[in-house]
Structure 1
């Protein structure tokens, strides 16, 4: 059975904090050889634990000043696949989640200004099955991360991808 052990936890924690960390430095930190660290990283990638390596870009430096969360009400599950597909195609949409409570989906979006946000909302509201939206604009962000607190565990392999 696939397992994440203490050494994998250390490697994942280091990579989440310092994605460009050299393998020889990781090897020093975890007490293994570079080939051993490389093999563990390869296996973590193959098992889908590590899904990519990305640069974190400051949106404000690129004049993308508006972050907003848009709750969307989609009429009926028959519209969900089309809605999700359209949302995935928009560059401004950073996250798409199916939710409980008010609305059926929530989107995290970033746009340069309120004019582009209004245009995006108009686009989303025109999609088949979209009954309504409710938007909250972020004023300040105090924490934003994708890092997980990793613990030794058995790996989970979902039977089917959820939509």
Structure 2
């Protein structure tokens, strides 16, 4: 179970992953060793899984963002599908879903030509029977920050 200090630490590092430990300690009202220990425990428990820099994809030549709805015909192909996904750099996220399709992919790639090549690659994978692609025109919200409610913890 988390207490208010743990929740405050999680709130801070979600929004500012590069916060120095001494600043974190000051902001949550703990000594540096105590704050560091709390942070270590949150990491070891798998609550904090990493610290990331948010990059501007367009500045790096990735002008196309798209979501690809994929239908894999049988669960016997899921494992190889996931292996292919893991090995494909332009695929940022892969989610097994209910409803239409079996998986939803988020991709970032250079241009429509590279998107077309990526789609051909995905469509060639064993078990893939259908893809539906939606190209993102603009994004009004894209975040990894989650609101944490104290009473909703497991």
Tell me the TM-score range normalised by the shorter chain.
over 0.9
Point out the structure with the larger helix share: 2
Look up the match of 2:83. Answer: 85
Aligned partners of 1:78 and 1:11: how far apart in 2?
Answer: 42
Look up the match of 1:161. Answer: none
Q: What is the CA-CA distance between 1:60 and the residue it aligns to?
A: 0.8
Alignment of 1:1-163 (within 5 A): 3-152=1-150, 156=154
Aligned partners of 1:155 and 1:28: how far apart in 2?
Answer: 25
- Runs (4+) off by over 4 Å: 153-156
Aligned partners of 1:96 and 1:24: how far apart in 2?
Answer: 37
Alignment gaps of 5+ in structure 1? 157-163
Alignment gaps of 5+ in structure 2? none
Aligned partners of 1:153 and 1:46: how far apart in 2?
Answer: 22
Aligned partners of 1:155 and 1:47: how far apart in 2?
Answer: 13
Aligned partners of 1:92 and 1:155: how far apart in 2?
Answer: 33
Question: Considering only aligned residues, what root-mean-square deviation do their CA atoms show, in Å?
Answer: 1.2
Q: TM-score when scaled to structure 1?
A: 0.91
Q: TM-score when scaled to structure 2?
A: 0.96
Cα-to-partner distance string for 1:20-54 (whole Å, 9 max, x where unaligned) = 11111111111111101000000000000000111
Bigger shift: residues 114-123 or 80-89: 80-89
